[in-house]
Amino acid sequence: MLALRRHQLVRLNDTGWAALRERTWDDTARACLAHWEAHGLPLVVTQQRAGLPEDHIALGLPAPTQWQRRRLALQVPERGVLYFDEFPAAAAIAGLLPPPIRSAWLNLAKALEDLATAPRVYGSFGWQRLTGLPYLHAGSDLDLKLMVSDAETADRVVAVMSAPAFTRPRLDGELVFPDGSAVAWREWDAWRTRRADRVLVKRLHGVAMETNNTWLGEYQPC
């Protein structure tokens, strides 16, 4: 059994691509998958739902504009994995931003790195940086995956994210705890400041609405 994480990238070997080619696809999906295979582009780990065939993993491919922004749900055998990869580090996507805000973005990325969050960018900005294909549009959010060691660190991260030097693109993303539990940083802020009495926690095998601190285990706030 492979150790999987949400927002983890997967590079496939020939076995993995062959398994996908054997499935029935419409022309749009098949063309997109053919491009992905030809260029060795990654897929992403998605929720591992009940009923997944034994020794298979669930992956996703959010297609760019030229393939109608289709979201392809895929299943490949574990033996089809060549290696795992990660989305780009936050600083690496600076070139996709308008020049006037690049410096502010790099300062924010550095502040988050200083909190040991290993900030990485997924979503439209991450995929465009990885593939060179057109994902971005005027309303694209900037999605960050932020690793946090405990609730106190999560609060510090939210303080940094809440006071950026720019307001566009909108900052979105998740705080990810060591056990893989993840919460949208804005929802965490609302929950911690008692503007919400529950918080949606995402995990590899599902999601749950939590109403107290028990889900945090050893990462609970003081």
Amino acid at 199: V
Compute the distance between CA of residue 111 and CA of residue 94 in angstroms, rounded to an integer: 15
**55 catalytic, yes or no?**
no
**85 catalytic, yes or no?**
no
Find all residues with CB under 8 Å of 201, minimum gap 6, and list them.
181, 182, 183, 207, 208, 209, 210, 215
Angle between helices 151-161 and 99-114 (to 10 degrees): 160
Helix then strand then coil, in percent of the chain rounded to 5, is 35, 25, 40
Which candidate in 55, 85, 141, 155 is catalytic?
141
Which candidate in 14, 27, 85, 143 is catalytic?
143
H or E element that contains 44: strand 43-45
Among residues 139, 141, 127, the alpha carbon closest in space to that of 70 is found at: 127
Compute the distance between CA of residue 222 and CA of residue 220 in angstroms, rounded to an integer: 7
Classify each residue of 100-123 as buried b or exposed e, where b means 16 or more C-beta atoms within 10 Å of its C-beta: ebbeebeebbebbeebebebbbbb
What residues are labeled active site?
141, 143
